[in-house]
Structure formats: C-alpha cells, structure tokens
Amino acid sequence: MAKRKYNNLKKKNTIFELRYLNYINDLTYKKINVIMIVSIILLLVLMFLDLRLRNNLSAVYTRIPSLFLAIFILIFKNFKNKKNKLIVAFLYKLFLFTILAMMYAKFLVHINTETVNLNALSIITAIFIITLEVRLQFVYGIIFYFGTFILFFIILLMFFGFDINMIKPLINVFLMTVVGFVINRVQSNLRFKNYENKFLLKAEKQKLYESNKELSLKNTELEEKNKELENFNELFIGREFRIKELRDKVKELDEKLNNK
C-alpha cells in the first residue's frame, strides 16, 4: 500500500515537473527573438572592436560560434513550426554555453597580455548573467559550470602553461563558478516552488468556482421545487376549502328538506 502511494506521488511529481519545464520553455520561446537580436548586434560590435581597435583576429574567431548559433536560433524560431519550443529552449541553453566558452577562449587568447584580470572578470560576469537566466537540472548544472571550467583549466595547462600571476584570477573564476552553481540551484528550486504554489492556488480557485457553480445550480433547482410545492399546496388548500363549502351547502339543503 505504501509503495503504491509512493509510486503515485512520484508519478504526480513527474507530471508536475514536465508542466513546469513546459512553462519555462514557453517563457523562453516568447522572449527569444529579442534576446537573439540584441546578442547578434552586441557580438558584431565586439567583433568590429576586436578587429579594428585591438587588431586581434583570434578574438574575433572566439565570437563566431555564438554569432552563428544566435542567427540560426533566430531563423529556426521564426521559420519553423511553433511546436519546436523544446528544441528552441535547448538551442538557447547551448547558446549560453557558447557565450561562456567564448569568455574562456578570450581569456586564453589574451593570456600573455595585461588584460588577464579583465578577461577573468568577463568570465565571472558571464557566469553571473547565465546563473540568473538559465534553469538547469542538477546534472546539467554540474556539467555546465564545472565541466567547462575543468576543460578550460586542462587546455590552459596543456597548451599555454601555468603562470603564478594567473592564480588569483583563476581562483576568482572558480569561486564564482561554485557560487553561480549554488545560486542557480536555489533559484531553480524557488521558482519551481513558486510555480507549484501558483498552480495549486489556481487549481483550488477553479475547484471553488466549480463548487459554487454547482451549488448555485442546486439552489436554483431547490427554489423551483419549492415553488412547485407552494403552488401544489395552494391548489390543495383551495380544493379543501371548496370541499368544505360544498359540505356546508349540502348540510344546509339537508336541513331545509327536513324542516319541510
């Protein structure tokens, strides 16, 4: 019996989580056009600055994957069937991943310059923005936050070597990675609870509305039956009075006949 209740509760939670994910995908689908257009403009401006002001072609290359993906998402969303909300939501998360990867790649490109701390700050900013925007499940969160940092660190050691001056910015990036993961988990749970409470409140309001509607119908039926009963009582009482009048008349006529 307990196992059966547990399975029913687990099934109910799974259905509710699917509804929540669908709700999140709907929100993403509605705002994706604005986000992609702004992202494309910003990426083009940054690429122009990298090429003209900094004369750094490698930095331009780091932005190309994010730019192409943003253009693809914009086209896919507006020229494909609207049923592809799940794919659009996945592509959007992939786009955010490329933004973070772009920041790590930019750090490696400028590793021998004086902008190491500034590039570390760019990574931290990207982590912060993504933390507030994306809703990741636990496993995906581990891969997204720590997987990218570990891959970045391995590439750094294998191809660029390690400098003691990098310790502080790398520690800051790692700490922000941990903080971002924790905030994202807390935020995701709070948003889920908020959605759950709103959904349950809406369901209770719907039940209350249906109950009131059913009660109103029953009250209407009772009023109609009471009215019918009142009409029947009036008819019955009128009939009794009529019978009494006839009895009195019969009695009166009988007395007259007896007197004669």
pLDDT at 65: 92
Report if residue 221 sits inside a domain.
no
Report if residue 198 sits inside a domain.
yes
Say if CB 167 and CB 126 are below 8 A apart: no
Average pLDDT over residues 40-65: 87
d(CA 148, CA 177): 10
- Highest mean pLDDT among 74-78, 162-166, 253-257 belongs to 74-78
pLDDT at 6: 44
Per residue in 166-190, pLDDT (tens digit) is 788 888 888 888 888 888 888 878 8
pLDDT at 82: 58
Report if residue 219 sits inside a domain.
no
Report if residue 44 sits inside a domain.
yes
Q: What is the mean pLDDT of the chain?
A: 79
Q: Which of 52, 23, 149, 139 is nearest to 97 (CA)?
A: 149
Report if residue 146 sits inside a domain.
yes
| pLDDT above 50: residue 249 | yes
Report if residue 252 sits inside a domain.
no
Report if residue 242 sits inside a domain.
no
Per residue in 206-245, pLDDT (tens digit) is 888 888 888 888 888 887 777 777 776 666 666 666 666 6
Report if residue 119 sits inside a domain.
yes
Its domain, for residue 202, covers 2-206
pLDDT at 259: 64
- Highest mean pLDDT among 13-27, 98-112, 159-173 belongs to 98-112
- Whose tokens are 């009075």? That residue is 241
What 8-state DSSP symbol labels residue 80?
Answer: S
Q: Give the pLDDT band of residue 72 (cuts 50, 70, 90).
A: very high
d(CA 233, CA 226): 10
Please give the tally of structural domains in the chain.
1
pLDDT at 37: 93
Residue 44 CB partners (closer than 8 Å, separation 6+)? 67
